[in-house]
Structure 1
Amino acid sequence: MAFLGLRKWPTPIARPLWPFAVAGGITMYLVYSAQSAGVRSAEWRKDPRNPYAAQIASESLH
């Protein structure tokens, strides 16, 4: 008999979903890497719309 809809043994959540968590982390890393490469490309390096233009310019002086 279930007490308020709770079972005697809880349904596992983290164990069957670990591959999706790992794949999500890898995907986030790859998207971040692609974004960083695109922002630092020669085409967008001096563009005034680039929010990281000042940071990239200061790094290139060193």
Structure 2
Amino acid sequence: MAFLGLRKWPTPVAKPLWPFVAASTITFYLVSKMQDAGVKSDEWKNDPRNPYAAQIAKEGAAHH
């Protein structure tokens, strides 16, 4: 008999969701890497609209 819709054993939440968590983590990582590569590409690294242009220029100056 259920009391207010609660069963004797709780319904698992994390166990059936692990593939979605893993896929979300992988997707977030890959999109982050793609964005980083796009921002640092030759076409965009000197563009004034690039919010990371100053940081990229500083990293480039440190390597030379």
Fold match by TM threshold 0.5: yes
Task: Please list the CA deviations of residues 24-43 of structure 1 after superposition, one character each: whole Å capped at 9, or x if unmatched.
Answer: 10000000000000000000
- Distance in 2 of aligned mates of 1:56 and 1:49: 13
Q: Which has the higher helix share?
A: 1
Q: TM-score, normalised by structure 2?
A: 0.93
**What letter matches 2:50 in structure 1?**
N
**Where do 5+ consecutive residues of structure 1 fail to align?**
none
RMSD: 0.6
Q: How does 1:17-32 map to 2 (within 5 A)?
A: 17-32=17-32
Runs of 4+ in 1 over 6 A off after TM superposition: none
Q: TM-score, normalised by structure 1?
A: 0.96
User: Number of residues paired by the alignment?
Assistant: 62
Corresponding residue for 2:42? Answer: 42
